[in-house]
Chain A
Amino acid sequence: MIGEIIINAFLVTLMLTIAIFIINTRKVISTILLTGTYSLVAALMFVSLDAVDVAFTEASVGAGISTILFLAALSYLPKEEKKEKFNVKHIYAICTCTIVAGLLIWASYDLPLVGQLENPVHQNLAQDFIEGSRNHIGIPNVVTSILASYRGYDTFGETVVIYTAGIAVLVLLYDGVSKTSKNNKGKNK
């Protein structure tokens, strides 16, 4: 129990460190690789939070395909960012983000503590889904039975979104990049 909490806290702090390093990196390749690492640590975090399906999707899609897409795009883009001076706009941005973060952290005291069985989110649908998956659908993995059956329309909508994005990418890149036509972006999953 206490070990679980410490692992959680360590992983989430690691994510914070990586995100802070991403802010000031100017080499684009390191930004991309740090983003991949960030996704991978997020996947570890999902495993420790019992979301194994989300973890392998994040590891393959978030850390794998996203990174590949970024690297593919990088071959057409400048490899280094221009140096920026610290100006008044940055101060406005920092103030906005600090204020919003403060408000959210203040509001977090009204959220239920992590991992309590009596939290409102666990009171309604989850038990029905677990029982239904056991008795009516017969698939041991509850996430699969919700994804494909109870919320099948969601998954259908997701497929439509990916199809649209794939078409849009093809249309955008059609005469923009003529030397290769191997853009199978958006055709994942």
Chain B
Amino acid sequence: MIDQIFGVWNYWIVFILMMIGLYIVISKKSLLKKIVGLAIFQTSVFLLYITFGKIAGGTAPILTDNVNEIYSNPLPHVLILTAIVVGVATTALGLALTIRINKAYGTINEDEISASDLVEYHKKYLEDKK
């Protein structure tokens, strides 16, 4: 019974974490907060992969002299190592873009950015009309 519950518990929490990340990306107006939401989503996906690779009673995939040792699956670990580093590259790029947007608009709030775009557009329209 307890095995049944905890056998899927990790999956449930991982899915809820994913959705928290998605909610932050959808609903928050601050661009920095959106990047944080992406990071949460990313880490939950890493956790999902590593959970797949786990074998109960196994050990970390570093070879020992014991021939009958059970090792957890090393392949998801390798994929996630690559993904972590790429994730940091994405974060750095997003932060650089945010800094540029803040420089150009003076704010990183999504609503204020689109409002100031709209004002620019109408100013241009009126000038063209004259």
A residues near B (Cβ < 8 Å) are 1-2, 4-5, 8-9, 12-13, 15-16, 19-20, 22-23, 28, 31-32, 35, 38-39, 42, 45-46, 49-54, 57-58, 61-62, 65-66, 69-70, 72-74, 76-78, 81-82, 84, 89-90, 93-94, 96-98, 100-101, 104-105, 108-109, 111, 113-117, 119, 121-122, 125-126, 129-130, 133-134, 140-143, 146-147, 151, 154-155, 158, 161-162, 164-166, 168-169, 172-173, 176-177, 185-186, 188-189
Contact = CB atoms under 8 A, between A and B. Distances in A.
A186 B98 contact: no
Interface of B: 2-4, 6-24, 26-30, 32-33, 36, 39-40, 43, 46-47, 50-63, 70-82, 84-93, 95-100, 102-103, 107-109, 112
B28 to A, nearest CB: 8
Contact of A101 (B16, B33, B86, B89): B16
B97 A62 contact: no
A116 B20 contact: no
7 contacts: A12-B9, A58-B43, A62-B87, A81-B29, A114-B56, A115-B55, A185-B96
